[in-house]
Structure 1
Amino acid sequence: MGRVRFVECLAMGRHGDLPRANVQGHRGQRLSRQKPGCNIAWSTNTDIEGQCRKMNFFVIRVGVCFTICICTMLMTATCQVATKENGFDNTAAPQFLIPNWMAEISDSVSLSDLSIPGTHNTMSFYGGNLVQCQTWPIDQQLKGGIRFLDIRLRNVNNNLTIHHGPIYQRANFSKVIRETMKFLTEHPRETILMRVKEEFSETNNIHVPVVNYLKQYANWNALWINSKIPLLGQARGKLVILQDYAGDAIFIQYNTLNIADKWKVPTMMHINSKWQNVQEHLNMAAVGNRQTIFLTYSSGAGVAAYPNAVARQINPRLLEYLQLRQGQNVRFGMIAMDFPSSMLIKTIIEFN
């Protein structure tokens, strides 16, 4: 075989050891020696060139990925300041309150025929930027016009705690029930729809504790105990549970809704794809069966796209989309948002 050279690869100290070359010596012996403590290997000219090409390509890919991550982190970091602007609000309270907006709507209108502002992960206040989805306490959300709540429960020995993934949100289901019952008592012509889902536990057995909590902390007569969608007149002053867990179907089943929840937004470069999903589902809701409840999640998140950064990009598009259609006789169903502004909530309500 051809002459074998003794080569030192300078790149090894920076990028780790390259694969050792196995080549034939002058007498056909297999050589794969490396001197202890040195990044030196026996290799042929052809092997070296191929490895260097692979290394250059790898370095370029790493550089591009690193640049994307840094840019995304910088874009996300700009969303941490509390502001009220163009559909986005991550301050402590709504700009204005709309506590009685359902009062003037006819009793004969079905809940499925309404345009209803809501919040995604309603109680997700803690855990940092990667987890936080809201800043308004639940009572302020309700007074601010929100009528769809997204409640995630962890079941620990029949104790139901509020979670967003593994992060405990420093509250139990009892707090949510008390706040909603208090609001409905003070505003008896309103109704609240609440998705109830098991989160960060896999017992598949939260129906009994959910019912027990409702019996203990709510007025059972202030619940809609039926799997059929009520008229607004039937639901006034009541909490309407959307049951997103296994068990006796005594509430409206969440899986009977028409839902768009493309929540995975890996980086801020995927915003357009997320918005396309939101827009297409809103278009569908506008012309869809009015006996079906439509639910569109405008929220999204990923490791390199925090909920507040996504909302800061999506909420203005959502507001503009709705404003361009003001005055049209359409319904959009429920829209679940992160960090919605009062103007965005008001704009949704005005379609009723």
Structure 2
Amino acid sequence: MKRAFAVAVCVLASLLVAPQPVLAADASYRTLSAADNPDWMAPLAGSTSLAALSVPGTHETMSTHGGALTQTQEDFGDSGGTLARQLTAGIRMIDIRARVNTGNTFTIHHGAAYQNANFDDVLSRLGTFLAQHPGETVVMRLKQECTGQLGSCTDVSGQKSFADIFDTYTARYSALFWQPSVTRGAGAPTPSLGTVRGRVVLAVLHGPYGGPIGNYGLTQFSGWDDASSTYVQDEYNVPNVGAIATKRDQVRRFLDITSAGDPGTMYVNFASGSSVFAQPQQVAGGAFGVQGVNPFLLTYLNEGPEVHTPVVRTGMLMLDFPGSGLISKVISLNTVQQR
């Protein structure tokens, strides 16, 4: 409910607030095109738990349309073009939001804004990438986006349930998914990398208000509801630019928890946030002299023991407008970890 209201307010405000100039790109922010890490998982030991890795991910992976209050990623083209570029850059966890459409299909939305892509585009791009790079895996969070409220979308009536439609996709793309993660009513343990190479792992299937649907995904995320939970930091409401400092601290604290935590437990840390008075690009890149989350992260991850206990594992780090240097830094922690 809170997220639906926030989206509604943001969409309404987008009609009233003039677009802000794009913030300057740097190594942490808006330089995805400079990142080239298509096979970074391939050298890692197959026995490594997927949870033990440091993984760059994207929040609202497909969101490139709808204006400054809705866009969360650089635009590399419709029909999954943006996803394809992210995968080449090294992104390995994605956040997909779907609307139930006619013909029992999913279309990709961020609130009311259609993202000029369908779920078939997502799965086709994933299939092509993983066929070309079989040493990799991709973790997916899939959420039913529509609440029917102001600012959100409305699912088309007369269709199957979200879970039933999802099952039709997994049947058609059965070779693409790690099957234990898409088996309804079961839940799966967190796998080793070798078990899931060349496959998509579903972390969780979320309903429109955040609650998991049907016990799909990984068992440890059965309690992942809206916003934060035991293994997830997702404090997405950043009420104003000044509050970016609070968001930075929330991300930092969860990084420290992850780094010191059980390597067999997967943690998901959302660096994203927004509101009417703090657009996604401002939270990520900074604004009005306030440092953004992305440049803070790049600095924090690079700092040595003379400053603080170094981060040795980020878990799944979900980013808006990631830069090539930040992606590469997260990936580099896996090289250190495997030695």
Normalising by structure 2, what TM-score?
0.76
Q: Distance in 2 between matches of 1:117 and 1:229?
A: 18
Q: Which amino acid in the other structure matches residue 190 of structure 2?
A: I
Query: 1:195 pairs with 141, 153, 157, which one?
Result: 141
Secondary structure of 2:20's partner?
Answer: helix
- 1:214 and 2:170 correspond: yes
Q: 1:201 to 1:336 in 2, by over 3 A?
A: same
For the 8 Å contact 2:61–2:73, the answer to whether it is kept is yes
For the 8 Å contact 1:97–1:145, the answer to whether it is kept is yes
- 1:316 and 2:295 correspond: yes
Worse-matched range after superposition: 223-232 or 182-191: 223-232
Question: Where in structure 2 are the equivalents of 1:282-321 lying within 5 Å?
Answer: 282-312=255-285, 313-321=292-300
- 1:88 and 2:33 correspond: no
- The count of aligned residue pairs is 275
Q: 1:349 to 1:100 in 2, by over 3 A?
A: same
- 1:124 and 2:63 correspond: yes
Task: Choose 1 or 2 for highest CA Rg.
Answer: 1
Q: Distance in 1 between matches of 2:110 and 2:262?
A: 32
Q: Which amino acid in the other structure matches residue 188 of structure 1?
A: P
Secondary structure of 1:105's partner?
Answer: coil
Q: Distance in 2 between matches of 1:114 and 1:197?
A: 23
Q: 1:302 to 1:328 in 2, by over 3 A?
A: closer
Query: 1:103 pairs with 36, 42, 49, which one?
Result: 42
Q: CA RMSD in A?
A: 2.4
Deviation at 1:206, TM superposition (A): 1.2
Q: Which amino acid in the other structure matches residue 122 of structure 2?
A: V
For the 8 Å contact 2:27–2:324, the answer to whether it is kept is no
Q: Distance in 1 between matches of 2:98 and 2:247?
A: 26
Q: Distance in 1 between matches of 2:163 and 2:106?
A: 11
For the 8 Å contact 2:62–2:83, the answer to whether it is kept is yes
Aligned to 1:183: 129
Secondary structure of 2:56's partner?
Answer: strand
Secondary structure of 1:196's partner?
Answer: strand
Secondary structure of 1:351's partner?
Answer: helix
Query: 1:334 pairs with 286, 311, 316, which one?
Result: 316
Q: Distance in 2 between matches of 1:172 and 1:301?
A: 25
For the 8 Å contact 1:152–1:162, the answer to whether it is kept is yes
Aligned to 1:51: none
Aligned to 1:164: 110
- 1:77 and 2:32 correspond: no
For the 8 Å contact 1:86–1:315, the answer to whether it is kept is no
Q: Distance in 2 between matches of 1:127 and 1:167?
A: 5
For the 8 Å contact 1:194–1:240, the answer to whether it is kept is yes
Q: 1:329 to 1:77 in 2, by over 3 A?
A: closer
Q: Distance in 1 between matches of 2:263 and 2:222?
A: 16
Q: Distance in 2 between matches of 1:325 and 1:170?
A: 43
Q: 1:252 to 1:120 in 2, by over 3 A?
A: same
Unaligned runs of 5+ in 1: 1-68
Unaligned runs of 5+ in 2: 1-12, 77-81, 149-154, 182-187, 207-211, 225-230, 286-291, 335-339
Q: Percent identity?
A: 34
Aligned to 2:95: 150
Secondary structure of 1:162's partner?
Answer: strand
Q: Distance in 2 between matches of 1:345 and 1:249?
A: 31
For 1:267-291, what per-residue CA distance to the aligned partner results, in whole angstroms no more than 9, with x for missing partners? 1011111111111100110111222
Q: Which amino acid in the other structure matches residue 181 of structure 1?
A: G
Flag the structure with more relative contact order, 1 or 2, with Cα contacts below 8 A and sequence separation at least 6: 2
For the 8 Å contact 2:49–2:193, the answer to whether it is kept is yes
For the 8 Å contact 1:286–1:331, the answer to whether it is kept is yes
For 1:92-143, what per-residue CA distance to the aligned partner results, in whole angstroms no more than 9, with x for missing partners? x521310000011001100010000000000001001000000141111000
Worse-matched range after superposition: 153-162 or 100-109: 153-162
Q: Distance in 1 between matches of 2:119 and 2:38?
A: 22
